Amino acid sequence: MQGFSMAVSSMQAGEKAVFTIPPELAGTKSRCPADIPANLPPNQALQFDVELISLITITDILDSEGILKKTIKRGVGNDKPCDLDEVLVNYNACLEDGMSVSMSEGVEFNLAEGFFCPAFARAVETMTEGEEVVLIVKPEYGFGERGRPSIGDEAAVPPDATLYVYLQLMSWKTVRHIGQNGTILKKTLRRGNLEGQHTENQAVVGVRLIGKLHDGAVFDQRGHQGDEPFEFVVDKEQVSDGLEEAVLTMWEGEVSLFTIPPQCLQDQHVVVPPGSSVTYEIELVSVVNDKHPWLMSQAESVEAAVEKEKEGDKLFGSSKYLRAYRRYYKARQIILSCFRRGDIDGEIKQMLISFAFKAVECATQLQLFEQAYHRYREVLDYDPGNLKAQEMSGQAFPEASLGIDTAAMHRGLEPFRPKEQHSIGWKMTAGAISSMRLKQGHKYHGGMISVPPIARPGTNVPTSRSPATQATRVVNTNWVTTNIENQNSGTTRKSLGSCFRSCLAPIVGPL
């Protein structure tokens, strides 16, 4: 009944309401559906006294009814796996007659590569850790018109078969490309303490690390002798660029595995065969960051900023442009954190202009022209008549800058990102909204859906070698409790007839 469906969809769990539905939306005018109770006079408005006890949400993941998802147990938090992440799942995939065609109590796969059928990766991207769902997978997101032959003990999937899947996301490992131009691959093995310290530029860190070659041979092992971790200062060239970039992405207590290319492995303490990529497993034991600029006096901040500028000059003279840029940027941020805009006098303005021009030189050498543009605009904020900044900020970005990763520019300095970086991030987020919505799906508003009984992995499950359990078509009438009332009869109440059940649209089947 269209009117009843519209009424219930306007409610929240626990709500009680009375709805009066006109004949054209109640079905009494056209006598449709055909099994509407015969004792209801034609052309009658109906009144419903409804209490919505619980709400079962069915998500149409792709907005095409190709993959429908019913959440039977909510997960923890709001984070969801994506892209290259490696996920660990339990699942049981069945046919319409209840026969299991594939099942596992724990299988790990990479989302980018997928597993079993295309629907798995699409569905897992919408799930949180610990979440349990039932999926209804149309053939185009299963095995299509060709089906799948039997594999070992697993039954064959017939052509054009709809699959019914119990799926639980147990955990996942975050996998990301990091470093300049994304050349380092990071896999998080154990998440760090988000209430602890995150590594900032020039922090003193204590780590335990193991470096291995492609064949598994250990070539570097530091911080494992005794109780003391291996300590170094980030961005001071005490370890290789690859290790610094790795640690700058970590939280205190985190353990991650990094695959580092040869160009990031220059380290006087270790010897690696030429051209070899290596893996490092790193545990970040401790982090001591620099004194925060907010805790400095203005005199202290000027002294600290000048020191950072000198460090940047030395690095620039050695053609270490990325490190130099970070020093100039940090010098700028120290000043801006301690001086309000109204307190910035001529001397402080000249310092900020100097930092900006030097940062421009670094960004230009790195071919990060968009960053150079923003530094020129910054100069104009303090000196609107600056001819060089006016000329350079009016130029178009060279195409060479478009594919360059800029995240490394401010690695370890995220708490003080420039304003334009935040706006760029927002623009990227806004541009990805449609893609995000596609991944999360929308609420399903179709008709009644039937699923066979689907057992959790590890229980007695009908397979190709055991009798299949007959599929059922049972409606969960506990989803809502309703009373129907003939509007003209006063107080006569009757239970909700079967003709109204299609409006409830629950996915059913014991779990």
Give the tens place of pLDDT for each residue, 426-475: 333 444 434 444 455 555 555 556 667 788 887 665 555 443 333 333 33
Q: Which CATH number is 296-410 given?
A: 1.25.40.10
Phi-psi region of 98 (alpha: psi -120 to 50; beta: other; left: phi over 0): left
pLDDT at 473: 31
Hunting for tokens 């470096």 — which residue is that?
A: 211
Mean pLDDT calculated for residue range 64-84: 90
Q: Is the dihedral of CA 233, 237, 238, 240 positive or negative?
A: positive
Token pair belonging to 148: 């799948």
Asked if residue 33 has a cis previous peptide bond (ω within 30° of 0), the answer is: yes
pTM of the model: 0.68
Round to whole Å and give the CA distance between 351 and 328: 10
Instruction: Report whether 202 contacts 237 (CB < 8 A).
Output: no
* Tens of pLDDT, residues 345-403: 888 999 999 999 999 999 888 888 888 888 888 888 888 888 888 888 777 766 554 44
pLDDT at 477: 29
Token pair belonging to 38: 């015969």
Q: How far is CA 394 from CA 359, 374, 391, 401, in A?
A: 18, 11, 5, 16
User: Which fold is adopted by the domain 180-288?
Assistant: Chitinase A; domain 3 (3.10.50)
Instruction: Report whether 267 contacts 240 (CB < 8 A).
Output: yes
pLDDT at 264: 86
Hunting for tokens 């940027």 — which residue is that?
A: 329
Mean pLDDT calculated for residue range 140-164: 94
Kind plus residue range of the DSSP H or E element containing 373: helix 369-382
Cα-based torsion angle of the residue sequence 160, 165, 170, 173 in order, rounded to the nearest 10 degrees: 10
For residue 305, which of 330, 288, 323 has the smallest C-alpha distance?
A: 330
Question: If DSSP states are collapsed to H, E and C, what string results for 300-354?
Answer: HHHHHHHHHHHHHHHHHHCCCHHHHHHHHHHHHHHHHHHCCHHHCCHHHHHHHHH
pLDDT at 292: 80
Q: Is pLDDT of 260 > 60?
A: yes
Round to whole Å and give the CA distance between 7 and 16: 11
Q: Is pLDDT of 86 > 70?
A: yes
Q: Which CATH number fits domain 58-174: 3.10.50.40, 3.30.70.260, 3.30.2040.10, 3.40.190.10?
A: 3.10.50.40
Q: Is pLDDT of 89 > 90?
A: yes
Round to whole Å and give the CA distance between 387 and 167: 63
Per mean pLDDT, which of 31-35, 164-168, 377-381, 470-474 is the most reliable?
164-168
Helix extents (H) in 33-131: 118-124
DSSP 1-42: -HHHHHHHTT--TT-EEEEEE-HHHHSTTTT-STTS-TTSPT
- Which residue would you say has higher pLDDT here, 462 or 43? 43
pLDDT at 166: 95
Maximum C-alpha span of the chain: 93
For residue 7, which of 47, 35, 62 has the smallest C-alpha distance?
A: 47
pLDDT at 447: 56
- Which residue would you say has higher pLDDT here, 405 or 286? 286
- Which residue would you say has higher pLDDT here, 35 or 186? 186
Instruction: Report whether 46 contacts 485 (CB < 8 A).
Output: yes
Round to whole Å and give the CA distance between 77 and 87: 16
Per mean pLDDT, which of 11-25, 200-214, 458-472 is the most reliable?
200-214
Q: Where in the chain is the domain with CATH 3.10.50.40?
A: 58-174, 180-288
Q: How far is CA 112 from CA 8, 109, 139, in A?
A: 39, 9, 21
Q: Is pLDDT of 484 > 60?
A: no
Per mean pLDDT, which of 36-50, 55-69, 95-109 is the most reliable?
95-109
Token pair belonging to 52: 């919505």
Mean pLDDT calculated for residue range 305-329: 93
Round to whole Å and give the CA distance between 180 and 53: 53
Instruction: Report whether 507 contacts 72 (CB < 8 A).
Output: no
For residue 156, which of 106, 107, 117, 99 has the smallest C-alpha distance?
A: 99
End-to-end CA distance of the chain: 28
